Structure 1
Amino acid sequence: MNLIWKAFQWITDKAKAAGGLCLVGMTVLTCADIIGRFFKYPIFGSVELVTFMGALAVAFALPFTHQTNGHIGVELVVRRLTLKTRLIIHILTGLAGSTLFAVVAWRMWVYGLNLNQAGEVSMNLQLPEYLIVLAVAACFFVLTIVILRGVIEAFGQLKTK
């Protein structure tokens, strides 16, 4: 099981780096487009590319953000509960979240395959949209596994209490 967690940790780290590259790409492309527009030479398709990179940046960051508890959480009430109660809440919300993201990943995967079959492409650059949808679906799958790992760890802590 430890090998599986290490593999998903590696995937999470690479996804985080890819998300960072998307942010850098968005910045560079936007700046180049603004400069180009100033000289009457805008970059054709820059809005599409920035949109795709924005979606990928968010999706690539999700597993790492959950793993490091970097998301926003409301803990005013929960923090005052006993450790056992907090672990139970963590397990229940983790199961609900992993179920949700597993379904979302599955349906996005099906949607991406449908886009591929239909030959859908972006409006200006004619880039295949299904690749972005499948990449986001894969990120949701990794997020599901990261959430389940947290559930398993919390369940292990609950058993020792």
Structure 2
Amino acid sequence: MEYLIKFNSYLNKVLLFFSGISVLILTGIAAANMFLRIVYSPIPGSYELVGFFGAVATGLALGYTQIRKDHIIVTMFTDKFPRTVNRILDGLNYTVNTIFFAIISWETYKWGMKIARTGEVSETLKVIYHPFVFCLAIGFAALSFSIFVDFIKLLKREASA
């Protein structure tokens, strides 16, 4: 159990690091584009690049955000339920979300493979963009794994309670 938690934490910190690099890149592109628009000419395809790096930044940070419980959770109805019912609902939620995001990860990966196979490129810059899609697939897989670890923690709490 501890190994899963440590591995999950390490994996998502590494992904968060690359997410941060992506934020720095997209910020640099956006700032340079604004400056160059005033003094010379804007960077061609900057909107496209900012979109790609924004998707990577968001996708790779999903698992870490789950570990910190920084996602929005609406509990206005479940707060009134007994603790046992809340644990059952949490378990059901973790199960459904683990499966859902695993499917999303797999489908995103398949989409990236299709794009790579067909040689599809971005509209403006004509760059291959399947690596960005693969980053999203990795981010969704990390989120699914983080939710699965939360489910295991919930089961361990129930066993010790």
Deviation at residue 159 of structure 1 after TM alignment: 2.2
Bigger mean CA offset, 17-26 vs 27-36: 17-26
**Distance across 1 between alignment mates of 2:145 and 2:20:** 21
Q: What residue is the counterpart of 1:73 in the other structure?
A: 73
Deviation at residue 103 of structure 1 after TM alignment: 0.6
Q: What residue is the counterpart of 1:55 in the other structure?
A: 55
- Please list the CA deviations of residues 82-112 of structure 1 after superposition, one character each: whole Å capped at 9, or x if unmatched: 3222211111000000110011111111111
**Distance across 1 between alignment mates of 2:107 and 2:127:** 21
After the TM superposition, which residues 2-151 of structure 1 pair with which residues of structure 2 at under 5 Å, given as runs? Answer: 2-151=2-151
Does the CA-based 8 Å contact 1:84-1:158 persist in structure 2?
A: no
Deviation at residue 6 of structure 1 after TM alignment: 2.3
Deviation at residue 160 of structure 1 after TM alignment: 2.6
Deviation at residue 11 of structure 1 after TM alignment: 1.5
Among the aligned pairs, what percent are the same residue? Answer: 25
Does the CA-based 8 Å contact 1:87-1:155 persist in structure 2?
A: no
Counterpart residue type for residue 92 of structure 2: L
Counterpart residue type for residue 103 of structure 1: I
**Distance across 2 between alignment mates of 1:73 and 1:19:** 23
Bigger mean CA offset, 22-31 vs 91-100: 22-31
**Distance across 2 between alignment mates of 1:107 and 1:115:** 12
**Distance across 2 between alignment mates of 1:46 and 1:62:** 24
Deviation at residue 5 of structure 1 after TM alignment: 3.4
Q: What residue is the counterpart of 1:156 in the other structure?
A: 156
Does the CA-based 8 Å contact 2:4-2:149 persist in structure 1?
A: no
**Distance across 2 between alignment mates of 1:110 and 1:16:** 23
TM-score (normalizing by structure 2): 0.92
Deviation at residue 4 of structure 1 after TM alignment: 4.1
Q: Count residues with an aligned counterpart.
A: 161
TM-score (normalizing by structure 1): 0.92
- Please list the CA deviations of residues 27-68 of structure 1 after superposition, one character each: whole Å capped at 9, or x if unmatched: 221111011011132112211110001101110111011111
- Please list the CA deviations of residues 89-137 of structure 1 after superposition, one character each: whole Å capped at 9, or x if unmatched: 1110000001100111111111111110000111222221211111111
Deviation at residue 74 of structure 1 after TM alignment: 0.9
**Distance across 2 between alignment mates of 1:112 and 1:22:** 19
Bigger mean CA offset, 62-71 vs 36-45: 36-45
Gapped runs of 5+ residues in structure 1? none
